[in-house]
C-alpha cells in the first residue's frame, strides 16, 4: 500500500527523469515532428517540482493530487502532449477519488483509466505510433502482474518492460496520428517521443517503489 509520501516521491522522480532526458526527447521529436516534446515535458516537470511542497502541505487526497497534476499539464503545456498527458493524470486521479492510500490495484486501475482517457481525447489507438503504443501494453502487463500477486515494484517493472517493447515497436511502424502522421511512411525507423516519455515515467515509478520498499 502507498500513501501521499510515495505519490509525491514518484512525481518527483518522474519529473527528474523527464528533465534529464529533455534533449533526447527533443531529438526524437525533431526527426518526426517539430522538436519540442522534451521542452514541453520538461517545462511541465519543472512546474510539478515547484508545486510539490505545497501539495505536500495541503492535500491527503491522492485523487486530488493527480487531478492537480493533470490540470497543470493541460493549462500550462502546449502541443498535443499537454492535453494528452493531462487527461492521463486527470483520469488516473478520478479513479482514485477520495483515496488517501493506493493499493497495487489502484495503481493498475489508474494506468488503465489514464490510458483510456488518452485514447478517447486523442481519438487514437494502438499501432498508430503514439504514446499509446507504450501505455496500452504497459497497462496490460501491470494488470497481469497484479493478477499474479506480484509486489508493486514488480508490477511497475512489468509495466516498464512492456513500455520498452512498445517503444521499440514504434520504430517499426508509420504514424497515423499527431504531427508525425504528416510524414507518414517516412516516420518508419524513428522512435516515438511520447511513448518514450511513458517509458521514463514507468522507470521512475519502478525505481521509487524499490527505493521506498513499498508492497
For ligand ADP, the closer of residues 63 and 79 by Cβ is 79
**Please, which residues have CB within 8 angstroms of residue 40's CB and are 6 or more apart in sequence?**
77, 78, 79, 81, 82
Report the nearest approach of ligand ADP to the CB of residue 167 (Å). 10
Partner whose footprint covers residue 84, from ligand ADP, Mg ion, none (CB < 5 to 8 Å by kind)? ligand ADP
For Mg ion, the closer of residues 29 and 133 by Cβ is 29
Helices (H) and strands (E) in the chain, counts: 9, 0
And the C-alpha cell for 89?
493524470
- At residue 2, the 3 state secondary structure works out as strand
Looking only at residues 138 through 197 of this chain, which bind Mg ion when binding is defined by CB under 5 A? Answer: none
The C-alpha cell 503514439 sits at 130
Closest CB to Mg ion: residue number? 33
Q: Which of 91, 104, 115 is nearest to 147 (CA)?
A: 104
Q: Binding mask 11-50 vs Mg ion (x if CB under 5 A, - otherwise)?
A: ------------------x---xx-xx-------------
Binding-site ranges for Mg ion (CB under 5 A): 29, 33-34, 36-37
Amino acid at each position: 500500500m502507498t500513501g501521499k509520501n510515495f505519490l509525491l516521491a514518484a512525481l518527483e522522480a518522474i519529473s527528474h527523469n523527464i528533465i534529464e532526458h529533455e534533449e533526447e526527447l527533443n531529438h526524437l521529436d525533431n526527426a518526426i515532428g517539430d522538436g519540442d516534446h522534451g521542452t514541453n515535458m520538461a517545462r511541465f516537470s519543472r512546474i510539478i517540482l515547484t508545486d510539490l511542497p505545497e501539495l505536500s502541505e495541503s492535500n491527503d487526497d491522492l485523487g486530488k493530487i493527480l487531478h492537480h497534476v493533470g490540470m497543470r499539464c493541460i493549462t500550462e503545456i502546449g502541443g498535443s502532449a499537454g492535453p494528452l498527458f493531462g487527461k492521463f493524470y486527470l483520469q488516473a486521479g478520478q479513479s482514485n477519488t477520495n483515496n488517501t492510500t493506493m493499493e497495487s490495484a489502484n495503481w493498475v486501475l489508474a494506468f488503465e483509466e489514464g490510458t483510456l482517457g488518452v485514447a478517447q481525447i486523442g481519438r487514437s489507438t494502438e499501432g498508430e505510433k503514439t504514446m499509446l503504443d507504450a501505455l496500452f501494453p504497459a497497462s496490460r502487463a501491470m494488470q497481469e502482474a497484479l493478477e499474479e500477486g506480484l509486489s508493486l515494484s514488480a508490477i511497475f517493472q512489468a509495466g516498464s518492460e512492456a513500455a520498452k517493447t512498445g517503444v521499440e515497436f514504434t520504430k517499426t511502424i508509420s504514424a497515423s496520428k499527431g504531427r508525425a502522421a504528416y510524414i507518414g511512411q517516412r516516420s518508419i525507423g524513428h522512435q516515438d517521443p511520447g511513448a518514450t516519455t511513458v517509458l521514463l515515467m514507468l522507470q521512475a515509478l519502478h525505481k521509487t517503489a524499490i527505493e521506498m520498499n513499498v508492497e
